[in-house]
Structure 1
Amino acid sequence: MSQTPDSAVRTYIDTHRAAFLDDLAEWLRIPSVSAQPEHADDVERSARWLASALAGTGFPVTEIWPTPGAPAVFAEWPSEDPDAPVVLVYGHHDVQPAALADGWHTEPFEPVIKDNRMYGRGAADDKGQVFFHTLGVRAHLAATGAAAPAVHLKLLIEGEEESGSTNFRALVEAQAARLAADVVIVSDTGMWSETTPTVCTGMRGIADCEIELNGPDQDIHSGAFGGAVPNPATVAARLVAALHDADERVTVPGFYDDIAVLTDAERALIAELPFDEAEWLRTAKSHAASGEAGYSTLERVWARPTAEVNGIGGGYQGPGGKTIVPASAQLKLSFRLVSGQDPYAVQKAVTDWVAARVPDGIRHSIVWGAPTRPCLTPLDHPALRSVVRAMGRAFGEKIRFTREGGSGPAADLQDVLGAPVLFLGISVPSDGWHSPNEKVELDLLLKGVETTAYLWSDLAENWKPASASASVPTAG
C-alpha cells in the first residue's frame, strides 16, 4: 500500500532523525559569537559549515556573502515551475556569548541531549530553527517525488544578528535583485507554549534617542542662583512627565496618525490565548499591569505603540546632599512602533515636541539611533494561510496567532524587498534564549521540519502571486 504524503514525510523524518541531530550538534560546536572579536574566525567557520551543509542538502547555489562585519550565507534552489512563488527564508548563524561560569550545567558549545531536549548555545536561537529547513526540504522532495522544491526557495542566513545586524540592511540593499521574493519567512521566532502552537503575524518597530540638556556652563550654587536660572534636571523631569496623558497615551502630536487599529477579529484571536497575567507579572518581575487605557496587556505589548523612558540622569548622584543647579541632564527614550507608523516621521514629531518644550536658557541636542520599521501580515494573506495549514498538519491541532512586542532586522527585508514577512518558528519560552542552558525541544524541532515539508507544496498549490516572474530560472 502506497503511503499518503503526510506519512511519507513522517517516515522520511524518522529515518533521518539521528543524522539530522548529529549534524546540528556539529554546527552548534562552532562558537560563532559575533559580538566577541576573538570569535570572528569561528563566525567565518560557521558560515562555511552552513554553506557546505546546504550544498549537501541539494541547493545548487550556495554562497558566502562578506560584509564589513560577519559573513552571511545565501542559498537558492529554483523550482521547476517558473510561475511558482518565490520564498526567501531568513535566519542567523551567529549566537550569544556563553561560558560555563555563566551558570550552564554543561559546556555551552558541547551539545547534550537529555530528556528529549538538545542543550547548547544556538540550539533554539537560531541554528536549530535554521537547520530544520534542510531536512524539511528533503522530506518535501521525498514525499512529492520531485527533483526541486515546489517553490523557488532562497535562504539568507546572516552572521551578526546577535550583535545588532549592523551591516544587514546595506547587504539587503546591495543584493536586492538576488533576494527578490514574493514572501519572506522568518525562522527566528517562537510559539506561545509547548501545548499551544502559534504563528506570529507581526513585530513592532523601534526608534530610540538620547537627549542632552545643558543649562549653566558648570554646576552652580542653588542658594545663590536657584529659582532664578533654568535647571536642566527640572526640564528633563517635565519632559518625562509630559510624555503621557492620564490614560497613558503618548502626547506627541501625530504619534498615532495612520496606525493599524486592532480589529474586533484580531482582538478576539488574542483573547483566545491562555494568558495568565499573574504568571506574566512574575516573569516580568513586576507587581502590577499598566499601560494605555482600553487595551489588554497582550494588546499593549503586541499591537499598540509605546514611549518608554529608558534612562534619566543629571546632577549630583553621590551620598549626602549637594545643593546645586546642575549643568546638564540626560534622557534616553525609546518608541515601539506598530504597522502604519513611519519611524522617521516619529523622529521628527518627537524632535519638534522636545524643541517646543525646552525653555530659553537650556541648550539641547537629540541624537537618534538607527530605526527599525514595524511589520504586520494581514490575517487573510494567502501565504499566511499556507503556513497555518502546514503547521496544523504537523501539530494535528488548531493554530493560534501571536505577535512579537520586540523588533528585529526582518523588517528591513520587508522594507527593501517590498515583500510581506511571515514567521515560522517552533521555539518556546522555556528554551532560554540568551540565557544559560539554552535548549530546543526535539519533538517541536521535528514538527518544524514537518511543517516546512508541507509548506512548499501548499504555497505552490494555493498561491500564484501576481509578482511571480517568468524570468526566474528553472531547475534542471
Structure 2
Amino acid sequence: MSPTPDSAVRAYIEQHRAAFLDDLAEWLRIPSVSADPGRAADVRRSADWLAAKLKETGFPTVEVWETDGAPAVFAEWPSGDDDAPTVLVYGHHDVQPAAREDGWHTDPFEPVVKDGRLYGRGAADDKGQVFFHTLGVRAHLAATGRTAPAVNLKLIVEGEEEFGSPNFPALIRARADRLACDSVIVSDTGMWSEDTPTVCTGMRGLVECQIDLYGPDQDIHSGSFGGAVPNPATEAARLVAALHDEDRRVAIPGFYDGVVELTDAERELFAELPFDEERWQRTAHSHATLGEAGFSTLERVWARPTAEVNGIGGGYQGPGGKTIVPSSAQLKLSFRLVAGQDTDRIQQAVREWTAARLPGGVRHEIAFTGATRPCLTPLDHPALRSVVRAMGRAFGQKIRFTREGGSGPAADLQDVLGVPVLFLGISVPSDGWHAPNEKVELDLLMKGVETAAHLWDDLAGSTAGSIAGPDAPVAPGAP
C-alpha cells in the first residue's frame, strides 16, 4: 500500500530533520541585530545566507532587495498553473540584541539543543519560523510528486522588523507589482500553548505621540505666582485624568468611530481558550486586572482599542522640595487600534482633543512617531479555513483562534497589496521572544513544517472541503 500524503509528508520531514536543524543553527550563528549599526554587515550576511539557501531549496527567482536600511530577501516559485492562486509569505531575518551577560545560560549566537528545544537568538523570532517554510515546500513536493508548488509561492523576508520596519512600507509600495498576491501568510506569531494550537486572526494597530506643554518662560516661584498662572504640569495631569471616562473607555471624541465590534461567535471562541487569569496577571507582574467595562481580559488586549500613558514628567524631580511653577511638562501616549479605526483620523482626534482641553497661556506641541494600521481576517474567509485545515492535519486536533494585542507590519501588506493577511506561527509564550534564553520547541517547529507542507495544496483548492482536520470548524456553525 502506498503511503497517504500525510504519512509521506511526515516521513520526508523526519528524513531531513537533522540537516534542516543544522542549517537553521548555521543561520542563527549570524548576529543579525538590526538595531545595532555595528552589526549592519551581519544583517547583510544574514540576507545573503538566506538567499543562497532559498536557491538551494529550489526557488528559481531569489533576489536581495536594497532599502535605505537593511536588505530584504525576495523569492518566487511559480506553480506553472495559470489558475493557481499566488501566496506571499512574510517574515524577518533580523533579531533583537543579545549578550551572555543579559542572563543567557549559553552564548545567544551559538545555538544549543537541550531537552527537545533549540536555544539561540532568533530561534523562534523569527528565523526558525521563516526557515520551516523551506523544508515545508520540499515536503509538499515530495508528497505530491510535483516539481513546483501547487500555488505561485513568494517570500518577502525583511531585515528591520526588530526596530520598527522603518523602510518596509516604502519597499512594499515600490515593489507592489512583484509582491502582488491573493493572500499573505505571516509567520511571525505564535500559538496559545503547546497543548492548544491556535491561529491568530488579527493584530492591533498603533499610534504614538509626545505632547510637550509650555507655560511660563522659566520656572517661577510658586508662592509669588502659583494659583494665578497656568501650570503646565497640572495641565498634563488634567489631560491624563481626562483620557478615560468612569468605565475606562477612551474619552477622546470620535475615538471609537468605525470600530469593528466583536461578534457573539468571536466572544464564544475566545471563551473556549483555557485562560487562567491569575496566571496571566502574574505574567504581567501586576496586582490586579483593570480595563474597559463589559469586556474580558482577553477581549481587552486583543479586540478593543486602548489609550495608555507611557510617560509623564515635568518640573523638579530632584531630592527634597523646590517650590516652583515649572515652565514645561511632557506626556508620552500610545493608542492601540482595532479593525475599522483609521490612524490618520485618530491622530487628528488626539490633536483636536488636546487643543480643546488646554487653557490660554499653555502652549503645546504634539509629535506623532509613525503609525501601524490594524488588520483582521474574517473567520469565514476561505484562506483562513485553509490555514486551519492544514494545522488540523499537522496537529491532529481542533484549532482554536486568538488575536494579537501587539502591532506589526502585517497591516502594511494588507493595505498596499489589498489582500487578506493570515497568520501561521508555532511559537509558544515560553519561547521568550526578546528575552534571554530564547528557544523554540523542536516538535512544534516540525509541526510548522508539516502545516506548510499541507497548506499550499489546500490553498490551491485541490483539497478544500475534503479535509477538515479533527473537529476543526472555523467558527460555530460554519459550513
TM range (shorter): over 0.9
- Residues 267-320 of structure 1 show CA distances to partners (whole Å, capped at 9, x for unaligned) of 000000000000001000001110000000000000000000111111111111
- Residues 29-80 of structure 1 show CA distances to partners (whole Å, capped at 9, x for unaligned) of 1111111111111111110100000000000000000111100000000112
How do 1:251-400 residues align onto structure 2 when only pairs under 5 Å count?
251-400=251-400
Q: What residue in structure 1 maps to residue 418 of structure 2? A: 418
For residues 121 and 313 of structure 1, what CA distance do their matches in structure 2 show? 35
TM-score (ref. length: structure 2): 0.96
Q: What residue in structure 1 maps to residue 175 of structure 2? A: 175
Which structure 1 residue ranges, 5 or more long, are not aligned? 465-476
2:69 is paired with a residue whose SS is: coil
Q: What residue in structure 1 maps to residue 475 of structure 2? A: none
2:229 is paired with a residue whose SS is: coil
- Residues 1-23 of structure 1 show CA distances to partners (whole Å, capped at 9, x for unaligned) of 21100011001001101110011
For residues 227 and 219 of structure 1, what CA distance do their matches in structure 2 show? 14
Contact 1:382 1:462 in 2 (8 A): no
Q: What residue in structure 1 maps to residue 222 of structure 2? A: 222
Q: What residue in structure 2 maps to residue 20 of structure 1? A: 20
Which structure 2 residue ranges, 5 or more long, are not aligned? 465-479
For residues 97 and 238 of structure 2, what CA distance do their matches in structure 1 show? 39
For residues 235 and 228 of structure 2, what CA distance do their matches in structure 1 show? 14
Shift of 1:462: 6.1
Contact 1:191 1:198 in 2 (8 A): yes
Contact 2:28 2:122 in 1 (8 A): yes
1:433 aligns with 2:433: yes
Shift of 1:100: 1.1
For residues 125 and 5 of structure 2, what CA distance do their matches in structure 1 show? 30
1:329 is paired with a residue whose SS is: strand
Q: What residue in structure 2 maps to residue 112 of structure 1? A: 112
For residues 328 and 97 of structure 2, what CA distance do their matches in structure 1 show? 36
For residues 199 and 462 of structure 1, what CA distance do their matches in structure 2 show? 22
Q: What residue in structure 1 maps to residue 234 of structure 2? A: 234
Contact 1:116 1:443 in 2 (8 A): yes
Percent sequence identity is 79
For residues 450 and 274 of structure 2, what CA distance do their matches in structure 1 show? 25
Counterpart AA for 1:395: F
How do 1:393-472 residues align onto structure 2 when only pairs under 5 Å count?
393-461=393-461
For residues 40 and 209 of structure 1, what CA distance do their matches in structure 2 show? 29
For residues 133 and 20 of structure 1, what CA distance do their matches in structure 2 show? 11
Contact 2:457 2:463 in 1 (8 A): no
Contact 2:269 2:401 in 1 (8 A): yes
TM-score (ref. length: structure 1): 0.97
Shift of 1:134: 0.2
- Residues 347-367 of structure 1 show CA distances to partners (whole Å, capped at 9, x for unaligned) of 001100110011001101110
How do 1:41-60 residues align onto structure 2 when only pairs under 5 Å count?
41-60=41-60
Shift of 1:388: 0.2
Shift of 1:438: 0.7
For residues 301 and 91 of structure 1, what CA distance do their matches in structure 2 show? 23
Shift of 1:127: 0.3
1:193 is paired with a residue whose SS is: coil
Contact 1:94 1:158 in 2 (8 A): yes
Shift of 1:463: 9.5
Q: What residue in structure 1 maps to residue 74 of structure 2? A: 74
- Residues 240-289 of structure 1 show CA distances to partners (whole Å, capped at 9, x for unaligned) of 10110000001111111111000000000000000000000100000111
Q: What residue in structure 1 maps to residue 131 of structure 2? A: 131
2:371 is paired with a residue whose SS is: coil
Counterpart AA for 2:413: L
For residues 196 and 463 of structure 1, what CA distance do their matches in structure 2 show? 24
Higher alpha-carbon deviation: 454-463 or 247-256: 454-463
Counterpart AA for 1:268: E
Q: What residue in structure 2 maps to residue 90 of structure 1? A: 90
Contact 1:383 1:463 in 2 (8 A): no
How do 1:116-195 residues align onto structure 2 when only pairs under 5 Å count?
116-195=116-195
For residues 407 and 298 of structure 2, what CA distance do their matches in structure 1 show? 16
For residues 120 and 363 of structure 1, what CA distance do their matches in structure 2 show? 49
Shift of 1:176: 0.5
2:253 is paired with a residue whose SS is: coil
Change (3 A) 1:262 1:462: farther
Shift of 1:344: 0.4
Higher alpha-carbon deviation: 133-142 or 93-102: 93-102
Q: What residue in structure 2 maps to residue 101 of structure 1? A: 101
Counterpart AA for 1:277: E
